[in-house]
Amino acid sequence: MERNDWPRVLLAWFDVNRRDLPWRESKPRNPYHVWISEIMLQQTRTEAVKPYFSAWMERFPTISDVAAADEAEVLHAWQGLGYYSRARNIHKAAQVIAEQYGGVMPRDPEAIRALPGIGDYTAGAVASIAYGEKRPAVDGNVLRVYARLYAVREDILKSAGRKCITKLAEETIPGDRPGDFNEALMDLGAEVCIPKHPRCAACPLRAFCEASRLGIEAELPVRTKKKPQTEWQAACAIVERDGRFLLHRRPPKGMLANMWEFPMALAPEAEESRTALEKLLGGRVGELRWTLTHVFTHRIWHMRAYDMETAGAPSGEDWRWFTREELRQIPLAGPHARLAAIV
Ligand code: SF4
Residue 150 near residue 171 (C-beta atoms within 8 A)? no
| Catalytic position from the list 2, 38, 287, 326 | 38
pLDDT score of 46 more than 90:
yes
* Three-state secondary structure call for residue 280: helix
pTM: 0.75
Domain boundaries, the chain: 3-219, 230-340
Q: Is 282 exposed, middle or buried (0-12, 13-18, 19+ CB in 10 A)?
A: exposed
Distance CA 257, CA 248 (A): 12
Closest Cα to residue 246, out of 292, 312, 294, 301?
Answer: 312
| 120 CA distance to ligand 1 middle (Å) | 25
Residue nearest to atom 8 of ligand 1 (CA): 193
> Where do runs of H (alpha helix) occur along 60-172?
63-68, 71-78, 84-101, 109-113, 120-131, 140-149, 159-172
pLDDT per residue over 102-112, tens digit each?
999 999 999 99
pLDDT-derived band at 118 (thresholds 50, 70, 90) equals very high
Q: Quick one: average pLDDT of 181-204?
A: 97
| 213 CA distance to ligand 1 middle (Å) | 10
pLDDT for position 55: 97
pLDDT per residue over 244-277, tens digit each?
999 999 999 889 999 999 999 999 999 999 999 9
Strand ranges (E), the chain: 230-238, 240-241, 244-249, 260-261, 264-267, 283-295, 299-310, 319-323
Distance CA 67, CA 64 (A): 5
Architecture of domain 230-340: Alpha-Beta Complex (3.90)
Residue 266, beta-bridge partner list = 234
Architecture of domain 3-219: Orthogonal Bundle (1.10)
Residues in the ligand 1 pocket, defined by CB under 6 Å: 145, 148-149, 192-193, 198-200, 203, 205-206, 209, 211-212, 217
What single letter denotes the amino acid at residue 118?
Answer: I
pLDDT score of 226 more than 80:
no
Is 25 annotated as catalytic? no
Distance CA 201, CA 340 (A): 48
